[in-house]
Chain A
Amino acid sequence: MIGACVSALIARAEADNPEAGFGERIAENQRRVFQIAYSVLGNAADAEDVAQEAFLRAYQKIALLREAEKFRAWVNRIVFRLALNRRRGHGRRLTRDTAWQMTETRTMVDGAKDAEQRVMLDRLRREIERLPEKLRNVLQLSLAEEMEAADVGAVLGIPEGTVRSRMHAARKLLLEAMK
């Protein structure tokens, strides 16, 4: 009863001032949004830039994105698009291999524990880069936390079944490539 009253009060406060809940929205989504950008860019600094840009764009549309689910879906889509754009821009200056190497020497933000695992992870990233674009997009999106097939499908505008079949095809290609 009290919980419902508090929720109603928060909803009313947010309706009066739509920007009030923005900090909370960042806290709820920042990890996943950053990971989506990171899985595409493989670089923590670029991923943070892109994630920040996505949140700033969401802030401009905060009045339309009051519902948490709407906000989540919107920000997933926008960060993925921004990350792809950033990668295309990078592609003109650097090859992806060089970019990964730079990341490895500059920041160690991923979960690799030892040198061998790091080498394997590096190789895996290169193999992911070589996947066909459709398969790569599905795989990279699904690598972020809390990204179920439905969420990936919503970002790419494809059905859940297609996401699963592309995911399977991507894993099969990686299994073959990692020989």
Chain B
Amino acid sequence: MKNSCEKWNDQLLEAALAGTTAKDLEEHLKSCTKCSTELEQARARKTRLDELLPLVARGAEPGADFRARVLAAAVGEKERHRAARWRVWTLAGATAVVVTLLIVGLTLVRRNGPAVPVEELAAAQKLAEWRAPSDSLLATPGQEILKTTPKLGQSYLNVPVKTEE
């Protein structure tokens, strides 16, 4: 193709694909043998392309046992799902039982309270009431006076002291 014919390139391809030529291209083809040859070649390529394109995928087929394999895989998948679901439910059930038992046990223990032996209680009572022997020895007649505060001008000596005698 001459350099000046390059502008016809797109139209030549369109003409080959559509099978019809535009008027201006037709006029050009009458006077240009190179473009006429180019169009013939493009048409031949188009025919070849039409033959080849369907072969890219359409001749391809899955294996004869494809359906059986997919079905087997689907069944396997279903079984796996079922097993997984059972595992989850079993685990959830076991957890629920353990938690329930723990709650019931704790409630019962709280309600009954710890069982303290009677001897221990008596011993604790005795300990609480115990006074040191020195408490009575340290008691003096002035103890009551010392608990009070004398007013202004008073003296501890003027405060009447209770004596048992």
- Chain A residues close to B by CB (< 8 Å): 19, 22-23, 26-27, 30-31, 34-36, 38-39, 44, 47-48, 51-52, 55-56, 59-60, 109-112, 117, 120-121, 124-125, 128, 140, 143-145, 168, 171-172, 174-176, 178-179
Residue in contact with B57 in the complex, picked from A22, A26, A39, CB distance below 8 Å? A39
Residue in contact with B61 in the complex, picked from A31, A56, A124, CB distance below 8 Å? A31
Complex interface: chain A residues within 8 A of B48 (CB): 120, 178
Interface pair B77/A144, CB less than 8 Å apart? no
Known A19-B78, A35-B58, A143-B57; further 16 A-B contacts with Cβ < 8 A = A30-B62, A30-B66, A30-B70, A38-B57, A39-B57, A44-B60, A47-B62, A48-B66, A56-B73, A59-B78, A109-B59, A111-B58, A124-B53, A172-B14, A175-B17, A175-B46
- Say whether chain B's binding surface is mostly helix, strand, loop, or mixed: helix
- B121 interface residue (CB < 8 Å to A): no
- Measured CB to CB, the closest approach of chain A to B71, in angstroms, equals 6
Count contacts on B: residues with CB < 8 A to the other chain.
31
C-alpha spacing A26/B75, complex, angstroms = 14
Residue in contact with B42 in the complex, picked from A22, A51, A175, CB distance below 8 Å? A175
Residue in contact with A144 in the complex, picked from B13, B49, B58, B66, CB distance below 8 Å? B58
**18 CB-based A-B contacts, threshold 8 Å:** A22-B71, A31-B61, A35-B57, A44-B60, A48-B62, A48-B63, A55-B70, A59-B74, A110-B56, A110-B59, A111-B54, A111-B55, A112-B55, A140-B57, A143-B57, A143-B58, A145-B58, A174-B49
C-alpha spacing A109/B67, complex, angstroms = 18
| Ranked 10 nearest A-B pairs via Cβ | A111-B59, A39-B57, A34-B62, A143-B57, A110-B59, A38-B60, A111-B55, A35-B57, A59-B74, A55-B70
